[in-house]
Amino acid sequence: MLQKRFVWSIFAVVLMGFCPGVVRSAAPLTLKPDPDEIKIGAFFNGAQVSVSGTIPSESEVVLQITGKREDLSLKTKGRALGVLWMNLGNVTFQHVPKIYLLYVSEAIGTFARSNPAKWKEMGIGFESLKGQIGITSDGGDKDELYREFLKLKEGEALYAMTDTPIRYGESDSGMKSFATEISIPARVPPGAYQVKALAVNDGHIVATTTSEIRVNEVGAPALLSTLSMNHGFLYGLLAVLIAIGAGLVMDFLFGENRGGH
């Protein structure tokens, strides 16, 4: 047994000496968002996060940011009797990520838009996401409902595919560094979000790694959130007081006789 282990050890050393690329290319991907914690204050209007890491030398990186999956219930609207615009039914989207953001290089973005079937086959993008989401409705075409759902999420800036400049370093031991910036939208809910780096080479995902960004409320938003969940009466009272205060301020600034001559 000891003799066999010795032989295999010698073989491994020889393999490392003559085929260094085989071993070195197996180095793990790295991924680091900075900052990895975002604080939502009273004047939060989105945030920029720097993302860096390493991928195999022959690859390009795709960054995917997703949130916790949940069910989302909405009302479908339409014209009743050809005249009135009103709610006509209910629709529930199951297993929907809170956010779905893709950041790609211009070359990868061009490839994705010109090869939607391949992009879907790779498990990336909105068409791939469509296959992961269940749709239950009172009626209506599911493809159309999904398109309307995407419009809603894109309008909120919570779903997007963005071409972004990605800076690459020199190849070293079969790996290269990358760095770029991503945007966290202003309407992002508090929670933990997965940042995933996908190394793409010749239309295939060859390796992946993940990290995490946490989004936390602080200050007034945190206080209001705590009150709404644990002290409903105080939250309602505070909301009324804020509305009254806002009305008084608006009346003072733009009252009927304010600024008259």
Q: Answer yes or no: are the C-beta atoms of 194 and 66 closer than 8 Å.
A: yes
Q: How confident is the model at residue 5, as a pLDDT? A: 47
Residue range 15-47, pLDDT digits in tens: 344 433 333 345 789 999 999 999 988 788 999
Compare 114 and 219 and report the one with higher pLDDT: 114
Query: What are the residue boundaries of the structural domains of the chain, listed by start?
Result: 26-217, 218-253
Higher pLDDT, 163 or 14: 163
pLDDT exceeds cutoff 70 at 12: no
Burial degree of 59 (CB within 10 A; 0-12, 13-18, 19+): buried
Average pLDDT taken over every residue of the chain: 80
> To 5 degrees, how large is the angle CA 10–CA 15–CA 17?
95
Q: pTM for this structure? A: 0.73
**CATH superfamily for domain 26-217:** Immunoglobulins (2.60.40.10)
- Asked whether residue 104 carries a pLDDT value surpassing 50, the answer given is yes
pLDDT in tens, 204-252: 999 999 999 999 987 555 455 554 555 455 556 555 666 676 666 666 6
Q: How confident is the model at residue 74 (pLDDT cuts 50, 70, 90)?
A: confident
User: What secondary structure does DSSP assign to the chain, as a single string?
Assistant: -HHHHHHHHHHHHHHHHH-HHHHHTTPPPEEEEESSEEEE-TT---EEEEEEEEEETT-EEEEEEE--EEEEEEEEEEEETTTEEEEEEEEEEEEEES-EEEEE-HHHHHHHHH-HHHHHHTT-SHHHHHTT-EEEESSS-HHHHHHHHHHHHHHTTSEEEEE---EE---BTTEEEEEEEEEE-TTPPSEEEEEEEEEEETTEEEEEEEEEEEEEE-HHHHHHHHHHHH-HHHHHHHHHHHHHHHHHHHHHHH-TTTT--
Lowest mean pLDDT among 121-130, 180-189, 211-220: 211-220
Residues 210 and 194: beta-carbon distance below 8 Å:
yes
Position 68 pLDDT exceeds 80: yes
Overall average pLDDT of the 168-186 stretch: 94
pLDDT at 180: 96
